[in-house]
Structure 1
């Protein structure tokens, strides 16, 4: 009998131009830096022996570039993009680099992740309900499509953290430990519930 257990090896994209610039928002055209390309190649080596059958990525360029570098190393793995995995939107403040926008973005993320106040939003951007719902839906679609398999997923620090917090009840446990660039970590679906057994730099396997 084929097990329904699905293993997702999730990671944030490699370092990108928007991160270096401190720019807020989804920024779909921001590219990987040279350092980000190296990080993606290093992540691929970590994933080489995992038996990955497909690689999912946000539609943002930096996530697609990360996934394509990984796919090049792994060989047969196909890259599929999912709009639901994009970074949180901040509306009219998209691309802003001022300290006030950065502070407000951090404040909203804390409200979502730690306090569960999903009605909050940065300016006229997405609220936490919208971000969590689309990421959860994307992960559910992946799990449905890959019973018994291991797949990789390239996402973004904000949206991925919010979505996984909703699925695994992480919340306060992961606040203060933002996902590093291109470090894979496991997320599991057993056919009934989700499990996030570890978080880079914070949670130990349990």
Structure 2
């Protein structure tokens, strides 16, 4: 049996925290009106999928819920897919915090310095571990099913945690730096007996 699995990944649709310029995981930030339109559009544009997995954050969950409703498939929340946490600075909108958050993410993705963190927030090690574990759990659930065709699933996450997690999982290193994931643009990640690989990345190679 061919146990290859296609994981269609995407950042959540536009949300209030992005419009406000707020930093952090911010689990309660809701989709904007534009975000709701984006979620509906991507739901209709996705290839055939069997299930949707999403971060527990409101903006990711609502994006996934729209996809699930339009495509007639189930949706599962996964804590491991949430955005990078920045501790006591959650929700900060000042330029210094935003710059430090970008600096830490760059250290993780480009330099591999996973010990770095924003304030008392998560280290890169913590973010990578939970994101990678989430993707592996998804693969284990679907690749070892009894069906002859494993098919595809969708994963709705966040710009920073998806970027660093997939950078490590797929061995991308710094190649994806400078191409931040746009809202609600899907791209393919494949896993089979040879391991994980990104077949696409928005802004770098075809999605």
**TM-score computed with the length of structure 1 as normaliser:** 0.95
Matched length: 201
**Structure 2 runs not aligned, ≥5 long:** 144-149
Tell me the alpha carbon deviations over residues 169-191 of structure 1, each in whole angstroms, 9 at most, x when there is no partner: 22221111100000010000013
Partner residue of 2:107 out of 95, 104, 111: 111
The corresponding residue for 1:165 is: 167
- Deviation of 1:57 (Å): 0.2
Match runs of 1:74-93 below 5 Å: 74-75=71-72, 77-93=73-89
Q: What does residue 146 of structure 2 align with?
A: none
- Deviation string for 1:38-77 (max 9, x for gaps)? 1111111111xx22110000000000100011111112x1
User: Within the alignment, does 1:126 sit opposite 2:122 as a pair?
Assistant: yes
Identify unmatched segments of 5+ residues in structure 1. none
Residue pairs, 1:30-179, within 5 angstroms: 30-47=29-46, 50-75=47-72, 77-147=73-143, 148-179=150-181
Deviation digits for residues 58-108 of structure 1 (CA, Å, limit 9, x no counterpart): 000000100011111112x10000000000000000000000000000000
The equivalent position to 2:183 in structure 1, one of 164, 177, 181, is 181
User: How far off is 1:121 after superposition?
Assistant: 0.1
State yes or no: 1:11 paired with 2:7.
no
User: What CA distance in whole angstroms lies between the structure 1 residues aligned with 2:136 and 2:2?
Assistant: 16
SS at structure 2 position matched to 1:23: coil
Match of 1:203 among 195, 202, 205: 205
Structure 1 runs (4+) deviating above 3 angstroms are: none
Per-residue deviation, 1:204? 3.7
What is the TM-score with the length of structure 2 in the denominator?
0.95
2:25 paired residue number: 26
Distance 1:166 1:18 in 2: 26
